[in-house]
């Protein structure tokens, strides 16, 4: 049986609408809000206003690409959290209206689970991991290690107690005077620098918890002192600084991921979220495929950023279980992985 | 509230200070000022723990506002205006409603929305000496 699902993602910057047929993508349309680059970040109200403007054109485009009519859809899926409340509400209301008008099931999807299940999208150039696997989700707002036992059963092993890994990149960049978002710039410059040039203290965290707040402070102090002695220090050492900061953040991530793989005995390792585009992180995983016999799963770039396809694929699994919701469902800015 | 100040040289001491600070503070608006990396989020985390919050208190830089619940069921909002460039954005996410409800409102980077804040608030300033010891100063402001 072929099941066509419309997936709506509006939790943050991007409005994205996808249509899937079982685990294959028929369309995945993202209206990127370039306006945010001018504002130096995610601006909540701008985000929700832009979602309102983007959502109908995105739907039209997705239907056209998929060569389907609204009547061909079997269910409407949407992100109900976590995210920015104003943005989530746009997608939630739109999904409810469509489901009501078309009289087809409504499926709510947890954004964090969807990031992980993006690995299950069927495409020619993506290998789907077998269950169980471990997933490291790293983005501007999240840093988590999850045991993915099935599409339905996931266990959070640990997460950040303060800043997210992506935030660590962006704030370290800010301290060095780089523009927002600094992550991709640091990645580029890191390729030209010596990752061992500078050492920054790593946090000692229990179990699978992460902390990046102390690293930010340690970079700040180091640079304040260095700039006092040589005002040109940052400019003269930018590549080495970027390489060393990137190496430190990745080391912190890898230490915990290695511990999780060892403790659970799982060697299928997936990464998800925007930071999985980082070339240093990808390299670190490749090394561990060699040294630790891991099988690593790195999603295609278009599935690492927020996208409607991951919402639709997650909803496909819920559809199979008839896990639908009614119109009383509400968006929630904070939402645990288990919900 | 008279002006008071505390010192902390590590995260454990921040928790001890937070226990004292929370007894002096009243529910309502609490602004935290200090350079990036001085420990604003860490202090708010400790204040939330002192109020009995059980969830992980993490940075709201990305989410702009995090909501928690204290031991007595009180609502606690943790804002971070770091990303805001235009003050109107704060109004648009409902700043006035948050201010009107009398809940705990901890705010990082209030400088970003200085024209929109009420004239009465509690202010916590963080500074560091040459050895990295944090000075946490507390006062009530009536402009």
What is the ipTM metric for this complex? 0.72
Query: Which token pair is B141?
Result: 């402001």
The reply to whether A84 and A47 lie within a common domain is: yes
pLDDT tops 80 at residue A228:
yes
Decide if A66 is inside a domain: yes
Return the HEC string of A276-324: HHCHHHHHHHHHHHHHCCCEEECCCHHHHCCCHHHHHHHHHHHHHCCCC
Is residue A328 predicted with pLDDT exceeding 90?
yes
Q: State the pLDDT at residue B17.
A: 95
As a whole number of angstroms, the distance between CA A289 and CA A283 comes to: 10
Residue A14 domain-assigned (yes or no): yes
The residue whose two tokens read 């927002």 is A180
Structural domain total, chain A: 2
Which CATH number fits the domain that encloses residue A81? 3.30.420.40
pLDDT at residue number A35: 46
CB of B10 within 8 Å of a chain A CB? The answer is: no
Residue A231 and residue A257 share a domain: yes
Any chain B CB within 8 A of the CB of A156? no
Residues 6+ apart with CB under 8 A from A36: A13, A42, A43, A46, A47
Of B45, B56, B85, the CB nearest to A40: B85
Residue of A nearest to B45 (CA): A162
A34 Cβ neighbours under 8 A, 6+ residues apart? none
Residues of chain B contacting residue A221, judged by C-beta atoms under 8 Å apart: 37, 132
Range with the lowest mean pLDDT among A80-89, A223-232, B123-132? A80-89
In a domain, A175, yes or no: yes
Mean pLDDT throughout A65-87?
93
User: How high does pLDDT run on average in chain A?
Assistant: 92
Q: Give the least confident one: A28-32, A41-45, B13-17.
A: A41-45
Q: Domain for residue A329, yes or no?
A: no
Do residues A282 and A312 share a domain? Answer: no
The SS3 of residue A65 is helix
Nearest CB to B59 within list A86, A163, A175: A163
For residue A226, how many C-alpha atoms fall within 13 Å in the half-sphere facing its CB? 17
Indicate the pLDDT class of residue B26, thresholds 50, 70 and 90.
Answer: very high
Do A135 and A76 sit in the same domain of this protein? Answer: no
Q: How confident is the model at residue A192 (pLDDT cuts 50, 70, 90)?
A: very high
Q: How much is the pLDDT for B98? A: 87
**Degrees (nearest 5) of the Cα angle B11, B16, B21?**
115
Q: Is A179 on the interface with B (CB under 8 A)?
A: no
Q: How many CA atoms lie within 13 A of A181 on its CB side?
A: 20
pLDDT at A34 (0 to 100): 53
pLDDT value of position A37: 55
- Note whether A90 and A190 are same-domain residues: no
Q: Which band of pLDDT confidence, cut at 50, 70 and 90, is reported for residue A339?
A: low
How much of chain A, in percent, has pLDDT values that exceed 90? 79
Residues A161 and A210 in one domain: yes
Greater model confidence, B8 or A181: B8
For all residues of chain B together, what is the average pLDDT?
91
Q: Are residues A280 and A138 in the same domain?
A: yes
B89 or A283: whose pLDDT is higher? Answer: A283
Nearest partner of B26 among B139, B137, B142, B127, judged by Cα: B139
How far is the alpha carbon of A158 from chain B, nearest alpha carbon, in Å? 11
Residue A336 reports pLDDT greater than 90: no
Residue closest to A14 by CA, chosen among A32, A27, A29, A28: A32
Residue A327 in domain: no
Q: Are residues A155 and A211 in the same domain?
A: yes
R_g over Cα of chain A: 21
What gap in Å lies between CA B138 and CA B88, rounded to an integer? 28
- A336 occurs within a structural domain: no
Residue A101 in domain: yes
Both A13 and A78 in one domain: the answer is: yes
Q: Are A189 and A243 in contact (CB under 8 A)?
A: yes
Q: Which domain holds residue A274?
A: 131-298
Inter-residue contact A65 to A26 (CB < 8 Å): yes
pTM of the model: 0.85
pLDDT digits 0-9 by tens, A296-307: 999 988 899 889
Is the CB of residue A332 less than 8 Å away from at least one CB of chain B?
no
Q: What is the pLDDT of residue A253?
A: 98
Q: Running DSSP on this structure, what letter comes out for residue A130?
A: P
A144 and A104 in a common domain: no
Spatial distance between the Cα atoms of A127 and B66, rounded to a whole number of angstroms: 36
Query: Environment class of residue A71 by beta-carbon count within 10 Å: exposed (0-12), middle (13-18) or buried (19+)?
Result: exposed
pLDDT at site B116? 94
| Mean pLDDT (whole number) for A41-63 | 77
Per-residue pLDDT for B62 more than 60?
A: yes
Q: CB neighbours (10 Å) of residue A167?
A: 26
Q: Indicate if A103 and A210 belong to the same structural domain.
A: no
CB contact under 8 A, A43 and B86: yes
Mutate to test the interface with B, among A172, A181, A217 (most CBs of B within 10 A): A217
Same domain, A39 and A22: yes
Q: How do residues B99-111 score in pLDDT, each as one tens digit?
A: 988 899 999 999 9
pLDDT at A42: 56
Q: In this structure, is residue A331 part of a structural domain? A: no
CA distances from A229 to A224, A245, B26 (A): 9, 21, 44
């Amino acid at each position: 049986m072929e099941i066509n699902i419309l997936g709506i993602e509006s939790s943050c910057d991007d409005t994205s609408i996808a249509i899937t047929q079982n685990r294959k993508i028929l369309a995945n349309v993202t209206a990127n809000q370039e306006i945010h680059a001018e504002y130096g970040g995610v601006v909540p109200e701008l985000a929700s206003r832009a979602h309102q403007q983007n959502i109908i054109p995105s739907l039209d485009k997705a239907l056209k690409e998929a060569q389907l009519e609204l009547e061909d859809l079997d269910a409407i899926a949407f992100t109900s959290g976590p995210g920015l409340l104003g943005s989530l509400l746009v997608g939630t209301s739109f999904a409810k209206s469509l489901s009501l008008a078309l009289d087809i099931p409504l499926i709510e999807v947890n954004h964090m689970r969807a990031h992980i299940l993006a690995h299950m999208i069927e495409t020619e150039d993506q290998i789907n991991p077998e269950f169980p696997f471990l997933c490291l989700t790293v983005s501007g707002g999240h840093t988590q290690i999850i045991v993915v036992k099935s599409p339905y059963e996931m266990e959070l092993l640990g997460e950040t107690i303060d800043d997210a890994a992506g935030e660590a990149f962006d704030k370290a960049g800010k301290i060095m005077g780089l523009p927002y978002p600094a992550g991709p710039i640091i990645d580029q410059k890191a390729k030209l620098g010596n990752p061992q040039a500078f050492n920054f203290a790593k946090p000692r965290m229990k179990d699978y918890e992460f902390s990046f707040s102390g690293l930010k402070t340690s970079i700040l102090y180091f640079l304040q002192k260095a700039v006092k002695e040589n005002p040109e220090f940052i400019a003269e050492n930018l590549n080495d600084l970027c390489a060393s900061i990137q190496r430190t953040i990745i080391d912190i991530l890898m230490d915990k991921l290695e511990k999780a793989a060892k403790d659970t005995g799982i060697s299928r390792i997936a990464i998800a979220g925007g930071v999985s585009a980082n070339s240093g992180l990808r390299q670190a995983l490749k090394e561990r495929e060699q040294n630790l016999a891991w099988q690593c799963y790195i999603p295609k770039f278009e599935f690492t950023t927020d996208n409607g396809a991951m919402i639709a694929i997650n909803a496909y699994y819920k559809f199979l279980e008839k896990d639908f919701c009614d119109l009383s469902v509400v968006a929630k800015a904070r939402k645990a992985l288990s919900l | 509230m008279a002006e008071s100040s505390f010192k902390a040289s590590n995260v454990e001491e921040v928790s001890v200070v937070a226990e004292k600070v929370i007894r002096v503070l009243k529910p309502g608006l609490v602004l935290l000022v200090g350079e990036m990396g001085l420990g604003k989020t860490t202090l708010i985390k400790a204040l939330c723990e002192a109020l009995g919050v059980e969830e992980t208190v993490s940075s709201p830089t990305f989410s702009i506002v995090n909501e928690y619940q204290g031991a007595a069921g009180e609502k606690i909002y943790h804002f971070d205006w770091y990303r805001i460039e235009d003050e109107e954005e704060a109004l648009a996410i409902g700043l006035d409603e948050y201010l009107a409800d009398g809940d705990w409102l901890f705010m990082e980077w209030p400088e970003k929305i200085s024209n929109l804040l009420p004239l009465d608030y509690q202010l916590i300033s963080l500074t560091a000496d040459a050895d990295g010891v944090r000075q946490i100063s507390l006062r009530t402001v009536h402009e």
